[in-house]
Amino acid sequence: MRALPTAIPDVKVLVPDRHADDRGFLSETWNRRAFDAVGIPHEFVQDIHCLSVATGTLRGLHFQRPPYAQHKLIRVVRGAIMDVAVDLRRGSPTFARHVTVELSAEAWNQVFVPIGFAHGYCTMAPNTEVIYKVSDRYAPDREGGLLWNDPALGIDWPVSARNAAISDRDRHLPPLAELTDVFE
Protein backbone atom coordinates (compact mmCIF):
# COMPACT_ATOMS: atom_id res chain seq x y z
CA MET A 1 0.00 0.00 0.00
CA ARG A 2 1.42 3.34 -1.06
CA ALA A 3 0.18 6.57 0.55
CA LEU A 4 0.47 9.71 -1.58
CA PRO A 5 0.15 13.25 -0.21
CA THR A 6 -2.47 15.80 -1.24
CA ALA A 7 -2.63 19.58 -0.84
CA ILE A 8 -4.42 18.98 2.49
CA PRO A 9 -2.23 16.56 4.47
CA ASP A 10 -5.10 14.84 6.34
CA VAL A 11 -6.63 13.71 3.01
CA LYS A 12 -4.57 10.85 1.63
CA VAL A 13 -4.52 9.05 -1.72
CA LEU A 14 -3.84 5.34 -1.30
CA VAL A 15 -2.74 2.89 -3.96
CA PRO A 16 -3.19 -0.76 -2.94
CA ASP A 17 -0.83 -3.37 -4.32
CA ARG A 18 -2.23 -5.60 -7.09
CA HIS A 19 -0.91 -9.08 -7.68
CA ALA A 20 -1.76 -10.12 -11.23
CA ASP A 21 -1.29 -13.16 -13.41
CA ASP A 22 -3.05 -14.65 -16.44
CA ARG A 23 -6.14 -15.39 -14.30
CA GLY A 24 -6.66 -11.79 -13.20
CA PHE A 25 -5.55 -10.05 -10.00
CA LEU A 26 -5.85 -9.98 -6.23
CA SER A 27 -5.73 -6.75 -4.24
CA GLU A 28 -6.08 -6.07 -0.55
CA THR A 29 -7.90 -2.71 -0.50
CA TRP A 30 -8.17 -2.44 3.29
CA ASN A 31 -6.01 -3.99 5.98
CA ARG A 32 -5.84 -2.69 9.55
CA ARG A 33 -2.03 -3.03 9.83
CA ALA A 34 -1.35 -1.45 6.43
CA PHE A 35 -3.60 1.51 7.23
CA ASP A 36 -2.02 1.95 10.67
CA ALA A 37 1.38 2.02 8.95
CA VAL A 38 0.32 4.96 6.71
CA GLY A 39 -1.26 6.93 9.58
CA ILE A 40 -4.92 5.93 9.23
CA PRO A 41 -5.75 4.05 12.46
CA HIS A 42 -9.53 4.11 12.00
CA GLU A 43 -12.11 1.35 12.00
CA PHE A 44 -14.93 1.19 9.45
CA VAL A 45 -18.44 -0.03 10.22
CA GLN A 46 -20.30 0.16 6.92
CA ASP A 47 -19.67 -0.30 3.18
CA ILE A 48 -21.70 1.55 0.56
CA HIS A 49 -21.81 0.62 -3.15
CA CYS A 50 -23.16 3.26 -5.54
CA LEU A 51 -23.86 3.09 -9.28
CA SER A 52 -24.18 6.29 -11.31
CA VAL A 53 -25.43 5.64 -14.82
CA ALA A 54 -24.72 8.98 -16.49
CA THR A 55 -21.42 10.79 -16.93
CA GLY A 56 -21.71 14.09 -15.04
CA THR A 57 -23.63 12.63 -12.10
CA LEU A 58 -22.77 14.72 -9.08
CA ARG A 59 -23.17 13.50 -5.50
CA GLY A 60 -22.40 15.80 -2.58
CA LEU A 61 -21.08 17.71 -0.86
CA HIS A 62 -22.11 15.73 2.26
CA PHE A 63 -20.99 15.20 5.85
CA GLN A 64 -22.37 13.91 9.14
CA ARG A 65 -22.25 15.90 12.36
CA PRO A 66 -20.94 14.51 15.64
CA PRO A 67 -21.50 12.20 17.37
CA TYR A 68 -21.96 10.30 14.08
CA ALA A 69 -19.27 12.07 12.05
CA GLN A 70 -17.55 9.77 9.56
CA HIS A 71 -14.12 9.07 8.16
CA LYS A 72 -14.52 7.79 4.58
CA LEU A 73 -12.44 5.55 2.33
CA ILE A 74 -13.58 5.90 -1.31
CA ARG A 75 -12.62 3.81 -4.34
CA VAL A 76 -13.92 3.23 -7.86
CA VAL A 77 -14.42 -0.31 -9.16
CA ARG A 78 -15.77 0.69 -12.59
CA GLY A 79 -15.39 4.01 -14.39
CA ALA A 80 -13.90 7.20 -12.96
CA ILE A 81 -14.77 10.12 -10.71
CA MET A 82 -13.43 13.47 -9.66
CA ASP A 83 -13.53 13.21 -5.88
CA VAL A 84 -13.68 16.35 -3.71
CA ALA A 85 -13.05 16.94 0.01
CA VAL A 86 -13.73 20.39 1.53
CA ASP A 87 -12.20 21.21 4.92
CA LEU A 88 -14.95 22.33 7.34
CA ARG A 89 -12.77 22.29 10.46
CA ARG A 90 -12.98 25.82 11.86
CA GLY A 91 -9.51 26.85 13.01
CA SER A 92 -7.77 24.55 10.55
CA PRO A 93 -5.10 26.25 8.40
CA THR A 94 -6.90 24.76 5.38
CA PHE A 95 -10.46 25.70 6.45
CA ALA A 96 -12.75 26.17 3.40
CA ARG A 97 -10.07 24.84 1.04
CA HIS A 98 -10.60 21.71 -0.99
CA VAL A 99 -8.65 18.94 -2.57
CA THR A 100 -9.63 17.03 -5.72
CA VAL A 101 -8.47 13.56 -6.68
CA GLU A 102 -9.28 11.61 -9.81
CA LEU A 103 -10.16 8.06 -8.82
CA SER A 104 -10.62 5.33 -11.39
CA ALA A 105 -10.86 1.59 -11.72
CA GLU A 106 -7.90 1.76 -14.08
CA ALA A 107 -5.65 3.67 -11.63
CA TRP A 108 -6.80 1.41 -8.76
CA ASN A 109 -6.42 4.24 -6.27
CA GLN A 110 -8.57 5.30 -3.34
CA VAL A 111 -8.83 8.34 -1.10
CA PHE A 112 -9.18 8.68 2.67
CA VAL A 113 -11.33 11.64 3.76
CA PRO A 114 -11.25 12.30 7.52
CA ILE A 115 -13.95 13.60 9.82
CA GLY A 116 -14.41 17.34 9.43
CA PHE A 117 -14.66 17.40 5.64
CA ALA A 118 -17.61 17.67 3.26
CA HIS A 119 -17.28 15.04 0.56
CA GLY A 120 -18.64 14.67 -2.95
CA TYR A 121 -17.81 13.45 -6.42
CA CYS A 122 -18.70 13.76 -10.08
CA THR A 123 -18.65 10.82 -12.47
CA MET A 124 -16.36 11.08 -15.47
CA ALA A 125 -17.55 7.91 -17.24
CA PRO A 126 -20.90 6.19 -17.73
CA ASN A 127 -21.95 3.36 -15.39
CA THR A 128 -19.43 4.33 -12.74
CA GLU A 129 -19.46 2.26 -9.56
CA VAL A 130 -18.08 3.66 -6.31
CA ILE A 131 -17.54 1.72 -3.11
CA TYR A 132 -16.79 3.48 0.13
CA LYS A 133 -16.31 2.61 3.76
CA VAL A 134 -17.48 4.83 6.62
CA SER A 135 -16.38 4.84 10.25
CA ASP A 136 -19.82 5.39 11.78
CA ARG A 137 -23.40 4.53 10.94
CA TYR A 138 -25.62 6.76 8.83
CA ALA A 139 -27.72 9.03 11.06
CA PRO A 140 -30.26 10.99 8.97
CA ASP A 141 -30.84 13.54 11.72
CA ARG A 142 -27.08 14.33 11.81
CA GLU A 143 -26.43 14.67 8.07
CA GLY A 144 -25.41 17.95 6.55
CA GLY A 145 -24.34 19.33 3.25
CA LEU A 146 -22.71 22.15 1.38
CA LEU A 147 -23.69 23.60 -2.00
CA TRP A 148 -21.56 21.79 -4.58
CA ASN A 149 -21.02 24.82 -6.85
CA ASP A 150 -20.66 27.57 -4.22
CA PRO A 151 -18.39 30.15 -5.92
CA ALA A 152 -16.63 30.74 -2.57
CA LEU A 153 -15.20 27.21 -2.78
CA GLY A 154 -13.75 27.61 -6.28
CA ILE A 155 -14.14 23.94 -7.21
CA ASP A 156 -13.52 23.32 -10.90
CA TRP A 157 -16.08 20.57 -11.49
CA PRO A 158 -15.92 18.64 -14.79
CA VAL A 159 -19.61 19.42 -15.46
CA SER A 160 -21.66 22.62 -15.66
CA ALA A 161 -24.61 23.31 -13.37
CA ARG A 162 -26.91 22.98 -16.37
CA ASN A 163 -25.56 19.55 -17.35
CA ALA A 164 -25.03 18.02 -13.91
CA ALA A 165 -27.24 15.08 -12.95
CA ILE A 166 -27.88 16.05 -9.35
CA SER A 167 -30.59 15.44 -6.77
CA ASP A 168 -32.96 18.23 -5.75
CA ARG A 169 -31.67 17.94 -2.20
CA ASP A 170 -28.04 18.47 -3.28
CA ARG A 171 -29.04 21.31 -5.60
CA HIS A 172 -30.48 23.24 -2.62
CA LEU A 173 -27.81 22.75 0.04
CA PRO A 174 -26.51 25.94 1.70
CA PRO A 175 -23.39 27.78 0.58
CA LEU A 176 -20.43 27.93 2.98
CA ALA A 177 -21.36 31.44 4.18
CA GLU A 178 -24.69 30.09 5.49
CA LEU A 179 -23.25 26.94 7.07
CA THR A 180 -23.35 27.55 10.81
CA ASP A 181 -22.46 24.09 12.08
CA VAL A 182 -18.94 23.42 10.86
CA PHE A 183 -16.54 21.20 12.81
CA GLU A 184 -14.63 22.68 15.75
Name all domains of the chain by residue range, CATH numbers in brackets: 44-178 (2.60.120.10)
58, 155 in Cβ contact below 8 A? no
Give the mean pLDDT per block of 10 residues along the chain (184 residues): 94 95 94 93 95 98 96 98 97 96 97 98 98 96 96 97 96 94 81
What count of other Cβ atoms lies within 10 Å of the Cβ of residue 17? 13
- What are phi and psi for residue 140, nearest 5 degrees? -55, -30
Per the residue annotation, which of 62, 71, 98, 119 is the catalytic one?
Answer: 62
Q: Is 68 a catalytic residue?
A: no
At 180 the pLDDT is: 83
Q: Residues 6 or more apart from 7 whose CB is under 8 A from it?
A: 94, 97, 99
At 158 the pLDDT is: 97
At 140 the pLDDT is: 95
Length of the chain: 184
Alpha-carbon span 137 to 139, nearest angstrom: 6
Per the residue annotation, which of 71, 98, 121, 132 is the catalytic one?
Answer: 132
What count of other Cβ atoms lies within 10 Å of the Cβ of residue 62? 19
What are the C-alpha distances in Å from 157 to residues 98, 137, 161, 177?
Answer: 12, 29, 9, 20
Q: Is 138 a catalytic residue?
A: no
